[in-house]
Amino acid sequence: MNIVRQKIVIYNNKIKESAELIFESYSASSENVGLTLVLAEFGRYQFQGSDFYKALFGLRALLEPKNIVICINGCRLDFVCSSMGQQMSRGQVGYIIEMGKQGTNRVRTFDYCDDQDKLTTVNKQMDYIRQWSESLKG
């Protein structure tokens, strides 16, 4: 097992706080990776998936009812990780997207996002990605 730790920022009920994100890679498991968010006063939240992007979506689904938002690119409304990116980078690289345009602005999924207005829920992000995909069809 490979473990990497990263200090991050979250919004907890719109109050900015520090937290830690732990990335785990498993070699002999159907779920290849795990993400654990460690909050000083609220414990740990963990989710496993086939790549870090999918694990992030699961982790966010656990956090949203508690009004906790992770301040990273992967939580932006306009962020998408392509299926090739999920395979090649295990979901750690994606694109900032615009309606009607191919994604060309490549960014790291877990890099800090300082624009609170860009951070959103899983459902809103998935809706935006669907709309964006449709906008490419012309």
Q: Over the stretch 76-103, which tens digit does the pLDDT of each residue have?
A: 999 999 888 788 888 999 999 999 999 9
Question: Rounded to whole angstroms, what are the CA distances from 61 to 105, 116, 124, 135?
Answer: 26, 18, 12, 26
Confidence of residue 28 (pLDDT cuts 50, 70, 90): low
Q: Over the stretch 55-65, which tens digit does the pLDDT of each residue have?
A: 999 999 999 99
**Mode of pairing for the β-strands spanning 79-80 and 93-96:** antiparallel
Q: What is the pLDDT of residue 31?
A: 66
Question: Domain limits at 58?
Answer: 2-135
* Total structural domains within the chain: 1
Q: What is the pLDDT of residue 86?
A: 81
Tally Cβ neighbours within 10 Å of residue 137. Answer: 6
| Torsion angles phi and psi, residue 58, rounded to 5 | -65, -40
| pTM listed for this prediction | 0.92
Q: Over the stretch 37-77, which tens digit does the pLDDT of each residue have?
A: 999 877 899 999 999 999 999 999 999 999 999 999 999 99
Q: Over the stretch 106-136, which tens digit does the pLDDT of each residue have?
A: 999 999 998 999 999 999 999 999 999 999 9
Question: Could you tell me the maximum CA-CA distance found in the chain, to the nearest angstrom?
Answer: 48
Question: Rounded to whole angstroms, what are the CA distances from 8 to 1, 20, 23, 26?
Answer: 22, 6, 12, 22
